[in-house]
Amino acid sequence: MAGTEGAYCTPTFSPDGQSLTFFDAVAQELKKIAVQGGPPLTLAKAGGMLGMTWGADDEIIYADIDFSGLRKIPSAGGTPVTLTQVDPSKGETAHRWPAFLPGGKAFLFAIETGQNPDNAEIVAQRLDTAQRWLLVQGGTYPQYVPAGYLAYVHAGKLMAVPFDVRDLQVKGQPIPVSEDVQESGFGASQFGLSSQGSLVYVPPSRAQRRLLWVSRNGTEQLLAARAQNYGGFRLSPDGRRVAVEVEDQIWLYDLSRDIMTRFTFRGDINRYPLWSPDGKWIAFQSNMDGPWNVFWQPVDGRGGPERLTTANYEQVPVSWSPDSKLLAFIENNLLTRSDIWILQLSDRKAWPFLKTPFSEGAPVFSPDGNWLAYISDESGRYEVYVQHYPGPDAKYQISTQGGTEPMWNPNGKELFYRSGNKMMAAEVATHPSFAVGQARLLFEGTYATVAKRVSEGAGYDVSSDGLRFLMDKQSGEATHINVVLNWFEELKRRVPSGT
């Protein structure tokens, strides 16, 4: 559909089926467009969608990744209204995946109470009184089935339980009702229902990802490492190893010997590894002591992980200063969205470098340590900027048509960034004053972006000579979609009402 370039996350039909809402990842906006065509209408700024639903009263409830509760906005646009607020005293961490119930007077959603979405609580809440009912303990992505059931996903299984939409109560025990369903992070589950009785779902994909080198002209060379579900990765300073996330833990991959060695053992999830320039430490994000904070661990294995920051907000390490004394990280704040902070390793003191009502992120120190490249959506979409460190000083805009994931050429004379699927390069000079040339396209391709948010850094790395990019891309069997006709009848047979 023309006008939906950059669309990402939960496209949602209007009740009459004539319009769609979607999230524009480039402009960082919630938008609406007519199915028959025409220009899209911007409804609100947003950092990303973790669920959206359109009710009969032309109101849209959505979960913005930059906010922990749910928000509501008229389908014609306007000022978003906070609909639910997370209660940390009850162990709540986020509200996700809203779904209107028939009549538009109540809705379902998932309350996350930890880092695993499968442990979320599924609740129903009235719009007028905010009265809430707990329906399921342990599930995500709730959907109402017009045949009188609540469907949701737990541990990759599609579950169903009889549900009275008038009393907002479940009437039996949940039962697995279908094949496995693919989950895509944050509890997103790949299934949908039609009012006429059909089920559509995506089974777990056998497609995985391969690490590869990509030259400046787009020539690809696969690494020997086998295909896996890779996450964030970074090259060691000597270029011989890669610290890479595999299945929620960090491993060290030796490029010449083709050997993968596990690096982290504590914590359910450790991700976003980041080598110190002296090669002695790897900083990373972990939930091993509760909130998502920054840790580090010696590379030589002579010590375990040590916590570097303590905060209730999620933090992600992004860049070291070249002398290994400072660490730039981002903090996702409920009020100011994504902010850039600097941590001094000698005394563990941290201070904000950029903390504004806008979303800033992906901070990267220049090779000489005197400049910081970053992204900000202050113009209405993400662009790449450079500012003198430690500042304050004037900032210089690098990208002109949208940009994310900045990385410096190790020679300090070039700045790379991505604009959609395009890898761009801009020549820069820092002496005697800062100057930037016109950005040019190096290559284009559908390579992965490993970060949950673009503010969390680049999904690629650069070789020491600036001639190659370490990237990853999907490999293996392509995902397919299954459609089950008359599924409601099968559901009634397998899960009789009132059982």
The per-residue pLDDT for range 312-371, each reduced to its tens digit, is 888 999 999 999 999 999 998 767 778 999 999 999 999 999 999 888 999 999 999 999
Q: What is the pLDDT of residue 187?
A: 85
- Nearest CA to 294 out of 302, 303, 286, 305 is that of 286
Mean pLDDT of the chain, nearest integer: 90
CB 470 within 8 A of CB 225: no
Rounded distance between C-alpha atoms, residue 395 and residue 49, angstroms: 30
Q: What is the pLDDT of residue 498?
A: 54
Here the tokens at position 200 are 């559509």
Rounded distance between C-alpha atoms, residue 43 and residue 80, angstroms: 9
Q: Region 157-164: what's the mean pLDDT? A: 94
Strand 360-365 to strand 422-429: parallel, antiparallel, or no bridges (unpaired)? Answer: unpaired
CB 343 within 8 A of CB 323: no
Q: What is the pLDDT of residue 182?
A: 86
The per-residue pLDDT for range 95-111, each reduced to its tens digit, is 999 999 999 999 999 99
Q: How confident is the model at residue 477 (pLDDT cuts 50, 70, 90)?
A: low
Rg (CA), the chain: 23
φ/ψ region of 251 (left if φ > 0, alpha if ψ in -120 to 50, else beta) reads beta
Q: What is the pLDDT of residue 391?
A: 81
Q: Region 162-177: what's the mean pLDDT? A: 92
Q: Is the pLDDT of residue 127 over 90?
A: yes
The per-residue pLDDT for range 43-65, each reduced to its tens digit, is 988 878 899 999 988 999 999 88
Q: What is the pLDDT of residue 499?
A: 45
- Nearest CA to 98 out of 152, 31, 165, 156 is that of 152
Here the tokens at position 330 are 């981002």
| Range(s) of the chain covered by CATH 2.120.10.30 | 7-205+479-494, 208-475
Q: Which residue has the higher pLDDT, 457 or 268?
A: 457
Q: What is the pLDDT of residue 295?
A: 97
Here the tokens at position 187 are 């509890």
C-alpha to C-alpha distances, 214 to 133, 269, 399, 404, nearest whole angstrom: 52, 29, 22, 18
The per-residue pLDDT for range 463-475, each reduced to its tens digit, is 999 999 999 988 7
Burial class (CB in 10 A: 0-12, 13-18, 19+), 178: buried
Q: Is the pLDDT of residue 114 over 80?
A: no
Fold of 208-475: Neuraminidase (2.120.10)
- Helix H or strand E encompassing 415: strand 414-419
Rounded distance between C-alpha atoms, residue 472 and residue 390, angstroms: 33
Q: Region 389-394: what's the mean pLDDT? A: 84
User: pTM of the prediction?
Assistant: 0.73
CB 80 within 8 A of CB 69: no
Q: Which residue has the higher pLDDT, 377 or 442?
A: 442
Helix (H, G, I), strand (E, B) or coil at 54: strand
CB 172 within 8 A of CB 495: yes
The per-residue pLDDT for range 245-304, each reduced to its tens digit, is 998 899 999 999 999 999 999 888 899 999 999 999 999 999 887 778 999 999 998 889
Q: How confident is the model at residue 450 (pLDDT cuts 50, 70, 90)?
A: low
Query: How many helices and strands in the chain, by DSSP H and E?
Result: 1, 45
Q: Which residues contact 407 (CB under 8 A, 6 or more apart)?
A: 364, 373, 415, 416, 417, 458, 460, 461, 462
Q: What is the pLDDT of residue 8?
A: 75
Q: Is the pLDDT of residue 232 over 50?
A: yes
The C-alpha angle 293, 209, 176, rounded to 5 degrees, equals: 80
Cross-strand pairs, 301: none
33-55 burial, b if ≥16 CB within 10 A, otherwise e? Answer: beeeeeebbebbbbbbbbbbbbb
- Nearest CA to 269 out of 285, 293, 255, 256 is that of 285
Q: Which CATH superfamily is domain 7-205+479-494 in?
A: TolB, C-terminal domain (2.120.10.30)
Helix (H, G, I), strand (E, B) or coil at 74: strand
φ/ψ region of 255 (left if φ > 0, alpha if ψ in -120 to 50, else beta) reads alpha
Q: How confident is the model at residue 41 (pLDDT cuts 50, 70, 90)?
A: very high
